[in-house]
Structure 1
Amino acid sequence: MIELKGVTKTFGSTIALDNVSINIPEGKIIGILGPNGSGKSTLLKMLVGLNKPNHGNIFINGQQIGVQTKSFISYLPEIDYLYPWMTIQQAADFVKSFYEDWDENKYKELVEFLELQPSMVIKKVSKGMRAKAKLLLSFSRNAKLILLDEPLSGIDILTRDKIIETIIRDYRAGDQSILITTHEVREVEGILDEVIFIRRGQIALEGNVEELRYQRQASLVEIMKEVYTHETI
């Protein structure tokens, strides 16, 4: 589904991604793992068209990044992007106006499942509630590709559990792809099908999670420690 061919992205003298070539399979939940500054978020931003590569090409379903690919991608950035003055319902109406794949029934089900109220004002709720609101907006679409950038960052353990439950609950296996960047490897290990470790802008290791665990006789956390032995995680 996703193909990177010799992709390099720089910011001044900093190399965020360094000649990366990789095929990311369709219909899987894929973890993009690595320490801060390894290039994880840059990769997701390029897939959604927010950043453009200096060199190389990116294809999604055989198409280069553009209007057509954006129409079936749901992107949840790490930053708190919601307008603080909006209610959750107003934020939902705003997102709905841009995307034809918005599913109102799914939205209503998720509002209840995530224990949110449409009348809640964004600036008046906790960080955990805002994290769930962002997830609500991302998963209320029937998007073929969902990109989640550090969805568990800086929130309490109960909210993390609810977010993981939501991903499992709404994932359409085989028909939908989810890419997750995160430091919270233990929390997501049980839901990942594939994993890509990025180190200093390059692919350090990739593969099927079950196969990697079997080959190395180690958990994903232990494998990550091996990959980044000389890195700060």
Structure 2
Amino acid sequence: MIDIKNLTMVYGGRAVLDNLDLKLEEGQIIGLLGENGSGKTTLLRILAGLERNYKGDVKIKGENPGGLTNSLISYQPDHLAIDDNLKIVEIVDLYRKFYEDFQNEKFYDLLDNFNVSKDLKMKECSKGMRDKVQIALTLSRKAKIYLLDEPISGVDPKSRKIVIDTIIDNFDYQGILLISTHLISAVENILDRAIFLDKGKIIINQSADEIREDKGMTIEEYFVEVM
């Protein structure tokens, strides 16, 4: 479903992604794991069609990112660029206009599960509440590929299990869910595959079960050892 060859992206003379190769098939929850600045966000933005100034070949179901692939992908950025004065219900109206596959009822069910009021303005939401709104918006689209960039970075530890369970419950295994995070311990139990990214290079791409069985470690322990 995703096929990347020789992908390089340079910012300010530095290769944020460095000759990266990656193939991903459907039916997986994949952790894109790395420290801040490792290239995780840039890779997701390229897949979402938001970055075009790259070298190499990126295909999503045989198409270049953007245009035809936009209907396949639901992307949650690490920061939702939207007017803080808008109420959540008004943001939902925007999503319904932009995305034909947006499921209104599902969004409000998810929001209730997260215990966030739909009548709040975004400026009245904490960082954790904003993250929950963004996750609900992203998962409420009927997409084939879900890209979540640091979805739980602002969520308190007590609420993380609810968020993770919600992600699992709403993932269709006919697609791909790619989660970028540095909070490995919070997501490792749901991962089918782990990709370690460091300085724009993939240094590990392995199934989660293989890591646990072959290395006798958790994914987080293995990540620390490799790094």
1:149-182 CA distances to partner (integer Å, 9 max, x unpaired)? 0111133112322221210111112x12110011
Amino acid at match of 1:54: Y
**Structure 1: unaligned runs, 5 residues or longer:** 229-233
Matched with 1:176 is 175
State the shift of 1:81 in Å. Answer: 2.3
Q: Which runs of 4+ in 1 moved over 4 A?
A: none
TM-score, normalized by length of structure 2? 0.96
State the shift of 1:51 in Å. Answer: 1.2
Matched with 1:200 is 199
Determine if the alignment matches structure 1 residue 77 to structure 2 residue 77: yes
Amino acid at match of 2:181: T
Q: Residue 223 of structure 2: SS of its match in structure 1?
A: helix
Matched with 1:231 is none
The separation in 1 between residues aligned to 2:47 and 2:54, in whole angstroms, is 14
Where does 1:8-87 land on structure 2 (aligned, <5 Å)? 8-87=8-87
2:193–2:207 contact (8 Å) kept in structure 1: yes
1:182-225 CA distances to partner (integer Å, 9 max, x unpaired)? 11111101100011111111110101100121111111011101
The separation in 2 between residues aligned to 1:37 and 1:126, in whole angstroms, is 25
1:122–1:130 contact (8 Å) kept in structure 2: yes
Bigger mean CA deviation after superposition, 153-162 or 194-203: 153-162
Indicate the RMSD between aligned Cα atoms, in angstroms: 1.2
Amino acid at match of 1:28: Q
Q: Residue 20 of structure 2: SS of its match in structure 1?
A: strand
Amino acid at match of 1:182: T
Q: How many pairs does the alignment contain?
A: 227
What is the identity percentage for the equivalent residue pairs of Structure 1 and Structure 2?
Answer: 38
Amino acid at match of 2:39: G
The separation in 2 between residues aligned to 1:125 and 1:203, in whole angstroms, is 36
State the shift of 1:53 in Å. Answer: 4.7
Determine if the alignment matches structure 1 residue 217 to structure 2 residue 210: no
1:29–1:179 contact (8 Å) kept in structure 2: yes
Amino acid at match of 1:69: T
The separation in 2 between residues aligned to 1:209 and 1:60, in whole angstroms, is 23
Matched with 2:134 is 134
The separation in 2 between residues aligned to 1:147 and 1:54, in whole angstroms, is 19
Matched with 1:119 is 119
1:104–1:140 contact (8 Å) kept in structure 2: yes
TM-score, normalized by length of structure 1? 0.93
The separation in 2 between residues aligned to 1:140 and 1:124, in whole angstroms, is 22
